[in-house]
Amino acid sequence: MSHRLLLVSQAALEGAVHASTPSQWLSASEQARLAQMAEPARRAEFIACRYALRLLLAGDEGRFADWSLEAPAGQPPRLSASTGAGLHLSLSHSHGWIACALAPEPVGIDMELITRKPASAIADLAQLACTPDQREALAQIADLAQCQQRFVQLWSLKEAWFKQRGTGVDFAMLPRLACLPAPAAAVQGAAGGSAHAWAWVAETPAGQAAMVSVCTRSAVAHWALHAQSHLPLPAAQRFCIGLLG
């Protein structure tokens, strides 16, 4: 199965999700996870995300219920062994948008809607999350909007890197992650070798800028965008990501 992406607004899925009767296709572990959520908005988001993952797997609504997913506590979604041997999923959600990735290898996806922040906030976050070289490069960008966009891109790339490793964000590692743009083939001296990433700067129908990043160990030639995606993607920027010693 090819490397696929689905980028969709939760609101656009609402009617289809409601009509699908989630109790009939959510797995036992998903229903157990859902039962622990008291907040209606969180419950609706969880169901929409699980629907979107199945839509990505099936290709359309016709067979989405054929795919069984697990929802282990505190871990990302994964396919049941009976239906998804050799396939890997990743999920991200941001301000009502859902991003899903499917690959025949471990994969991480992150989506961030860019909301304006003051320069002082960007500087503080960069101190937390960026290498010295990244902080220096950010400080040289005079335009505040461009500086924030570049910082969000770095953050999103790093979060996707952690997800493809199957871990949460490690704040001790964040400022040691180098993100080198193509044509760099590797991060020299990176502990554990380099991973490959793709980053897109897109725009929602409402005109809000969005950053989407995907990370895998191999250099994937092409990501196929699901036909029901609501967020067109421009040409991707390519990166190598590695943990500096």
117 and 174 both lie in a single domain: yes
126 and 73 both lie in a single domain: no
What pLDDT, on a 0 to 100 scale, did the predictor assign at position 85?
A: 73
Last residue of a domain, one of 35, 70, 86: 86
SS3 43: helix
143 and 230 both lie in a single domain: yes
155 and 233 both lie in a single domain: yes
Q: Percent helix, strand, coil in the chain (nearest 5)?
A: 35, 25, 35
191 and 72 both lie in a single domain: no
119 and 237 both lie in a single domain: yes
What pLDDT, on a 0 to 100 scale, did the predictor assign at position 191?
A: 79
76 and 118 both lie in a single domain: no
Q: What CATH number has the domain bearing residue 178? A: 3.90.470
What pLDDT, on a 0 to 100 scale, did the predictor assign at position 1?
A: 60
Give φ, ψ of 72 to 5 degrees.
Answer: -65, 140
The boundaries of the domain holding residue 22 are: 10-86
Query: How many domains does the chain contain in total?
Result: 2
Residue pLDDT, tens place only, 103-158: 999 999 999 999 888 889 999 999 999 999 999 999 999 999 999 999 999 999 99
What pLDDT, on a 0 to 100 scale, did the predictor assign at position 62?
A: 67
185 and 126 both lie in a single domain: yes
Characterize the bridge pairing of strands 224-225 and 4-9.
Answer: parallel
Contact 242, 177 (CB under 8 A): yes
User: Which residue stretches of the chain have pLDDT < 70?
Assistant: 1, 60-62, 84
190 and 142 both lie in a single domain: yes
What pLDDT, on a 0 to 100 scale, did the predictor assign at position 235?
A: 92
Name which of 96, 15, 117, 103 is nearest 57 in CA terms: 103
126 and 56 both lie in a single domain: no
Per the domain annotation, does 165 fall within a domain? Answer: yes
Per the domain annotation, does 5 fall within a domain? Answer: no
Sign of the CA dihedral with 99 first, then 100, 103, and 109 last: positive
